[in-house]
Structure formats: C-alpha cells, structure tokens
Structure 1
C-alpha cells in the first residue's frame, strides 16, 4: 500500500471531531500527488526511451533540423539520458553521434536543462534517438519539413499533408504544372490534375449508398445488369468492389470523347472475364460499377457523382469528363519524365477522349485540396456513417471499395495513367488524424522512387512531425 492510499484510509475513519487533522492529511496527500504530476508525460509509450529522463523535463513538442556547428569536428553526442541531471533514472550513456543524422528533420519530444546546457529528446521518423544538446538543432516549421521532403526526392507536383485533422492542412508545391507556359504546380484551383484510380473510392462510396438504400446488395449478380459478360451469373457486386471478379483488361484511349453508354460498351468489348476469383487489379471493374449506378438510379453516373458527392462536400474545383468537354478556367497539368537527371522531358497530357472512357475509374480532374474534402467526408458522416464506412472497407482484406485495406490503421490508394508521368496517391489513417495526398506530374523521382513510395514518405511526415 503506498503513502497516498494510507492517507486516504486514515481520512475515511476520521470522525467529525478530527476535521482539522483530516484537512492536514488531505493536504499532505495532495502534495504527494503534485510531486508525481511533475514527471514527464509522453504521447506514445512505444517511442519512450528505456531509461527515461527526469522529473523536471518540459514536454513542449516542436520540429527541428539536426545541424552540426562549424566549430565542431563532428556532431553532438546523443545520450540515453540527460547527462548530469538530478533525479534522473538510469545512467546517461552515449547512443550515437548527431552527425549521423546531419540535416535530417526530427521531432523534439521534451527538453531538460542540466547545468548550463539544455538537452532535447529527439524522435526521428517515429524512432526515439535520445537526448542531445539543443545547440545542434534548428527549429523549423511543419511546412518546411514537408517542402524539404518534396525537394529531397525531386517530387514535381502538389502535395497536401495533414498531421492533425483539427488544423488547416499544409499544402506544398514543387516545379511546373506546365513548363512551357511557366505555370507552377498548385492546389488553389488554377491547376487541375487527372485523378486516375483515386476516383474508385468515390464510386465505391456511391455503391455503398445504394446498399444502404437497399437498392442493391453485395451479393447482387453482375448478370442482372450486364448478362452478356462471361461468368456474369457468378460475379457479384462485392467482387467488383474488391477486384476479385476475374475481370481483367486495360481500356485504351479512343479517338473521340465518349458518352457514358458508349464508355460502358467500350469497356465490355475490351474486358476479359476469366472466371477466377483471385485479386487482379483492373479499372474495368469500377467502370462497370459506374454503369450499374446509372442503371439503378435512372440517372447518369455524372449526375449522381455531382449531386451526392461533389456538391455535398463543396468540391468546386472538381470536374467530370464525358462526351462534353468541361468548361474550365483552370489549366490541365502536363506530365513529364525525368531522364538521366534532366527534368521535364517527354511532355504529354491525358486527352479528354482517354478520360471519357473511364467513368467511375478515372474521368475526373481535381486538386489535392478538393480530394482532401472527400477523404474527410468519408469518415465524418457527411457521406457515410461510421458503420457504412466500416462495411465499405471490409469486403476484402486486401482491396475494398476503392482502397487498399491491408495495412493496419491506414487506408490508401495509388493511381497512374499508362505511359505518362502522372501519379496520384493518398494515405489516410483511420479517423483521418494523419493524411497525405500527393498529385505528381513527373516520374520517376530521385533514385527511381515511385509515386506510391513517395506518398508513404509523406504519410510518415504526417504521422511523426
């Protein structure tokens, strides 16, 4: 039994004649609690060092860059504990030299003064390094960390990063959306990017709404809508949502823009139905789902997407391409390749005919900021209830409702257009506490990093900085 428990026990047996003594004992107990409350707190036990610091550390967090002063031959030592500090648990042993992380960005989790030196507890990409002299750190903004990461990997495009859903997200840009016209990449609506397969999640959300309205079920057969497709009597809506329908194929760009019915007919002519039920990615699954939405609602997919999602979420910089060219004041981003270290090679654009052939799976132009509104809408009950969102992401353990769901605690997706430099990606934690939306218009990145790998890097920034 600890001292506080004893005091509470003594207090409980006091009678009314000993009120003064009771008051003194309670005050003593409060004093003991006050001493305990001065011990440091951490936001994540998994990142706390084995030998933690002292009872007088401050826990104000901030982002910083490790820098080695010119006056030092090497960096500052990083210790397991604050050297020489009183009331410290454990001996301060050297863990590494800060020069190993020179110019890298870290998160300061706490600071502690020992003598005339102030030490900071630093975390690097989720790994706690230890305590180092603050003179080896330069405080920076979260935006600077995100911007520097784009430049480090030569990521050309526009990126939105949110490390706290209650705050305004951070948008960083790099390079040209159109080098010929000196138009910079941006997410302010003056530049639009083809969304590619990230549109699948929008289509998945509309299908889930039809499930909720009991106009459709996960076990409804494809043959009800497209009986001419081989194996359609055994293919379910759920299998289309999870890419386990056995339908494969890639839709090629037509010469002219297609109406929605023409696009569905074109997809059916293109596809190959194998009868297999293993996961196999093909956009045609979601083009067929768009056609099913049109058949069930009696409206075009464009009308349903516009009214149920775009208008509802205020996505004013998002446009749908079909046989009618959208009336745009913004410019369409141009894609490029980086070849032998030279940027902006092989300029090309995704044509309107190519976009019109992909209703439900890639016929949208938008911005990272607008797509972020959609990501939030998926989990804040503006589009789907928590129960419906859970259903949409649970039809498979790999890919469900337009999202990869095989990483614990996060949903993500990636999109490209064949033979272009475009890549779109997003990573969103469950609950949207951390989100990264990356729209790139050049590939590959430095060291042949893919767009999907870069999105993961930005998700690390959103999570740990």
Structure 2
C-alpha cells in the first residue's frame, strides 16, 4: 500500500521523506565503478535519505518508487554498484552483502576501504582478535585486528606474526592432509583398519581410516588436562586408555579420531608427528609463526594472546592463558599455536596443488557428508571448520570456497561475541564480507 500524507510517503508501513522531482529528470552521466562505502549521518527519518527502487530519474512525485529510508541502515557497510548523475544530483545503487537496497543520494554515503569494512565488522560485534580475508584471488589477503592480545600490558592484537593464538581444531585439517599424502604414497589406504596400528581399541577391526577422517568411527573422548605436558607417545597412550569405542558409525565429533591419526602418521613413517608436520606442511607452506606444544618446554618468540571473557558490556574480564598441558594431550587435534596469516597460507596450499594433487583433495573432502578431512562439508562449494578451548575465550574458524576465490580466517581471544552471534556465525559473516565487498 502506498499513501501520501503531508509530504511523507508511506510504503509498506515505513514513513519515507518525500522530495519533489521534475516530471522528467534525465540522467546526464553514468559510472559503473564499484567501491565500498558506509551509510552515514542518517539517524532518523528527517535526516535519512530515501532509497529508490529504480532510481529517482525519469519520474515525478506521483510515480516515485521509494522503498525505504537510509536511517534503517545508518553506519552499515555497502557496495556501490553504479552511479547515475541527474539534474537533481548523483545517486548510487547500493548492495548490502548480496541484497540490493536501491538507489540513494550520494551524500548519504562515504567511501571506505575494504580494510575499514573488515575491521568495522569486527568492532560492530566486539570481536577481539585478528582476521585474514581474501576478497580477490589476485591480491594478498587483507589482515585486520581489533582489541588487545594482552590488555594488562597493552599489547594489541596484531596480524604481522607477533601475536599467536591456539589453533584448536583447525589443526585437524593439517593432520588429514598428511594422512591423504600417505594414501597418495600408497603407504595407507582409506580402508585400512585401525586395528592394524591400534588393535587394543575396541571394535578397531571395524573402523577405517576414512571413518576416522569423517568422524564416523564411533570413537569418543572427554577433554582432560593432565598434571603436566605430555610427549606425543604419552598422549597417544593416554587417549587409548581413556577413549570409548561405541561401534556406532553415525557422525560424532571427537578429538580421539585425529589424535590416533597423528599416531598412525608416526607409526607409518617412523618419525614423530611433529617431524612430519614440519617436513610435510610447515616448511613447504612457509608457516613461520606456527609452533607445536609437546612435552618439552615451549619458548615463544611471539606474544601468546590471553583469553578473556566478555561480561555484559565489559571486555577483558577473567584473563587466562591456554594450558600447554591441555594442548599437549591432543597432538594432531589441537596442540598448535599459529596466526590467521599462517593458516591462510595453508588453506591456499591444500587447494592449489602444493600439498595434494587436486583429485586427492577432492577425495579428502568426500569421506563423509557432514565432516571430512578435518573440515565441514555441508555447504556446497564451501568448506569450513571452527575450533575452541571451552571456558578460555579462544575461538578459531575459517570459511573457504572450493576454488580459493574467497577465504576468511578469524582467530579471537574473547567470548562471547556481541550481537548474540556465535563464533561460527561471525566467521561466516566475515566470509560474506570477503565475498561481497
């Protein structure tokens, strides 16, 4: 329904400020240049610029097609898709993520950089951490940070490699790639039974490598923090001792699968998981700011981000650092410290043929319909994963398109996030930023 009341247009229940236009408002110039912008200075209906469905040209007051008011989107980031200049001014067609809002007077926006969009999105949801985004495959990733890595010492989160974060479950994809490399080298097969390496695990003769990669093995475990840091062999023995094997082949997420896969890598190659990771992934990819927590004392050259809790509107409460003992108990599944920039390099390498032939990576993503090869595969054309250490404030996540055209990697050191978003939802939002801005 459309009504006109005292110079105010009512469309769909929204009051839209009317402007008078000549019966014919010709376009004098058109630009197809795309750029990022922010809708600004539109705090109410009186100051908000109208949004027009088809543009305020070739129109009149009785046929105007205003569909909204900019005040609803004040401070929102948009993408300018086209600009038209008329006798009454210049107007821009705006896209908000994948949805077109309409046309607005150019005075209702200000141009911004992609970095400003990315960092502004982190600030909007009070995400404390660092993100690496790839909006275009032909350009380097854009790295942005927000907040403190160490609030007590005023050390800011940083994307240059001076601050590292617990990688958590994102490490599983690295373990999976090494397993797939061994399959490609004919040293393993997807159907190799777990009993070949760990016969003491109940039902191990019925559990295959493929099922472990897909979390459909029936293996379950409970998180634990040992009294002190464990060596790899101690961690494998402890996992065997404490896990449960249910003989249920439905999907059930469990670190036990990837800890034992790490142990299998060591058994097959005759070298430790750490040595394999360094030789097969870290050095070839150039992950210079990635470090493993094992039984030996770790000496970092970088700042380890402190984990925090957001208490209502107060940031940086309940500071704590990750327990190295806790991390050492899950080699292959969460005993790495890294940066979004380093992990971004890994994502590129697993899909561009550097670490796996293309057909082998496709195989790695095809062992399960929910989860496969250390990532979730439930969204067509996209693979992703999320990680955390419960109760610490640390969260990690990434989303990537199959062709590496768009990538988002986010490591945060405070939870919960603003706007009632989960960590996974925010990483998905940042992927949309990389896709549409």
TM-score (norm. length: structure 1)? 0.85
Alignment partners' CA distance in 1, 2:353 and 2:40: 45
SS in structure 2 opposite 1:382?
A: coil
Q: 1:81 aligns with which of 54, 76, 98?
A: 54
Alignment partners' CA distance in 2, 1:250 and 1:206: 25
Q: 1:126 aligns with which of 98, 105, 119?
A: 98
Alpha-carbon contact 2:399-2:427 (below 8 Å) kept = yes
Q: 1:343 aligns with which of 298, 315, 338?
A: 315
Alignment partners' CA distance in 1, 2:127 and 2:389: 17
Give the drift of 1:137.
1.0
Q: 1:114 aligns with which of 75, 80, 86?
A: 86
C-alpha offsets along residues 146-184 of structure 1, whole Å, 9 cap, x if unaligned? 111111111111111111121121111111111122211
Alignment partner of 1:59 is 2:32? yes
C-alpha offsets along residues 220-249 of structure 1, whole Å, 9 cap, x if unaligned? 100000000011010000010000001111
Alignment partners' CA distance in 1, 2:316 and 2:357: 43
C-alpha offsets along residues 95-120 of structure 1, whole Å, 9 cap, x if unaligned? 21122211111000111122241111
Q: 1:314 aligns with which of 286, 298, 318?
A: 286
* 2:126 aligned residue: 154
SS in structure 2 opposite 1:113?
A: strand
Alignment partners' CA distance in 1, 2:99 and 2:52: 14
Give the drift of 1:191.
1.3
Q: 2:180 aligns with which of 185, 203, 208?
A: 208
Give the drift of 1:426.
0.5
* 2:351 aligned residue: 379
432-441 vs 447-456, which deviates more? 447-456
Report matched runs for 1:247-266 at 5 Å: 247-266=219-238
Q: 1:128 to 1:300 in 2, by over 3 A?
A: same
- The alignment's C-alpha RMSD in Å is 1.8
Alpha-carbon contact 1:251-1:270 (below 8 Å) kept = no
Alignment partners' CA distance in 2, 1:54 and 1:221: 70
* 1:27 aligned residue: none
Alpha-carbon contact 1:192-1:367 (below 8 Å) kept = yes
Give the drift of 1:410.
1.0
SS in structure 2 opposite 1:376?
A: helix
226-235 vs 154-163, which deviates more? 154-163
Alignment partners' CA distance in 1, 2:168 and 2:256: 13
Q: 1:171 aligns with which of 137, 143, 151?
A: 143
Unaligned runs of 5+ in 1: 1-52
297-306 vs 127-136, which deviates more? 127-136
Unaligned runs of 5+ in 2: 1-25
Give the drift of 1:250.
2.0
Q: 1:239 aligns with which of 178, 198, 211?
A: 211
Alignment partners' CA distance in 2, 1:460 and 1:392: 25
SS in structure 2 opposite 1:57?
A: strand
Higher fraction of helix: 1
SS in structure 1 opposite 2:378?
A: strand
SS in structure 1 opposite 2:325?
A: helix
Count of residue pairs brought into register by the alignment: 409
Alignment partner of 1:464 is 2:436? yes
Q: 1:393 aligns with which of 365, 369, 373?
A: 365
Alignment partners' CA distance in 2, 1:69 and 1:203: 50
Q: 1:128 to 1:55 in 2, by over 3 A?
A: farther
* 1:274 aligned residue: 246
SS in structure 2 opposite 1:96?
A: strand
Asked which structure has the greater CA Rg, the reply is: 1
Alignment partners' CA distance in 2, 1:413 and 1:106: 27
Alignment partners' CA distance in 1, 2:45 and 2:64: 21
Q: 1:289 to 1:73 in 2, by over 3 A?
A: same
Higher fraction of strand: 2
Q: 1:410 to 1:55 in 2, by over 3 A?
A: farther
Q: 2:410 aligns with which of 438, 446, 453?
A: 438
Alpha-carbon contact 1:251-1:267 (below 8 Å) kept = no
Alignment partner of 1:358 is 2:338? no
Alpha-carbon contact 2:29-2:86 (below 8 Å) kept = no
Alignment partners' CA distance in 2, 1:70 and 1:357: 53
C-alpha offsets along residues 417-448 of structure 1, whole Å, 9 cap, x if unaligned? 12211000001112111111111111001144
